[in-house]
Amino acid sequence: MPPTDRFVISFAAEPPQETLPYGRWADTLREHFIAACRTIDTEGVEVGEPDEIAWFPDRTYAGRTYVPAVARTDEDYELFGYVSFTEGAGGPSDFEAHADFTAELAEANPDWKLDLNDEVIGIWRGAPGKSADMTLVWGVPLIPGGICVTAELANLAVDQCDVLDERFTLIAPDNFRGDYLEVKLFSKRGDELARESLYVEDDEDDEDED
């Protein structure tokens, strides 16, 4: 096989190792996530109090495990973020959490087929002067029939995750050599059901303004 000209980190994260959090473990993660929510700079917006937290499949990269989360509030905002930790002989430790909020909800966007959240968690350095944003992506399919999602960079699959309880988590390189991630949903037969970019196309914005 000849050398590739698409030399970029791929499938760098471990696949999910645990079931979705529940019980005392979910309580521990909730404590860290809610603490991060309390530190959000809402710029005066009354975000409200979170309802039940939806946890997403865990993914481990560079020695840290990431468990994403989403929660609606009583003011109709959505809190999103993650709790991360390291695994030691004594169990999980060195917890960190990040959270933000949005008013963009899936029910107000009927054209969405995937409801996605993302956060850059690191940088991967490629050839001199080239780097990629290592990006945590989590979400839910908004159409039925999907069993697996992939993260693709210029049509090169760089991560994938089975859909677990209608949720998935990816860790993949983004913004590399002018290419940006697309998330694709596939059926059991391997048919592509949906695809979403993490970005709004500039030309779509221009058309709306016109």
Q: With contact defined as beta carbons under 8 Å apart, do 180 and 156 qualify?
A: no
Q: Enter the tokens of residue 49.
A: 């109090």
Which pLDDT belongs to residue 204? 47
Q: In what order do the strands lie in the sheet with 181-187?
A: 156-162, 146-153, 181-187, 192-197
Pair type for strands 146-153 and 64-73: unpaired
Alpha helices by DSSP H, listed for the chain, are 23-38, 202-209
Q: In this structure, what DSSP letter does residue 76 have?
A: S
Which pLDDT belongs to residue 8? 94
CA distance 150 to 162: 9
CB atoms within 10 A of CB 75: 12
Sequential pLDDT tens for the chain (210 residues): 777 777 899 999 999 999 999 999 999 999 999 999 999 999 999 999 999 999 999 999 999 999 999 999 999 999 999 999 999 888 999 999 999 999 999 999 999 999 999 999 999 999 888 999 999 999 999 999 999 999 999 999 999 999 999 999 999 999 999 999 999 999 999 999 999 998 865 444 444 444
pTM, to two decimals: 0.92
Q: Is the dihedral of CA 156, 160, 166, 169 positive or negative?
A: negative
Maximum C-alpha span of the chain: 59
Which pLDDT belongs to residue 200? 65
Q: With contact defined as beta carbons under 8 Å apart, do 173 and 132 qualify?
A: yes
